[in-house]
Structure 1
Amino acid sequence: MWVLAGGNSITSTNDVNSIEIGAQVNPTLNGDNKTRLFVSWTNDEYRTTGCYNLLCPGFVQVNNQIVLGSYFDPISSYGDKIQRMGKVFVWKESEDGN
Structure 2
Amino acid sequence: MDRDSVIFCIGSLAVSLVVAMVAFPFAAMDAETVAAAEKPKPVYEMGSVDVGKGFGEVPVEDLMSYYIENPPAAKTSDAGAAPEIRFGGC
TM range, smaller chain? under 0.3
Structure whose alpha-carbon radius of gyration is higher: 2
More strand by share: 1
Greater relative contact order (CA < 8 Å, ≥ 6 in sequence): 1
Scaled by the length of structure 2, the TM-score of the pair is 0.26
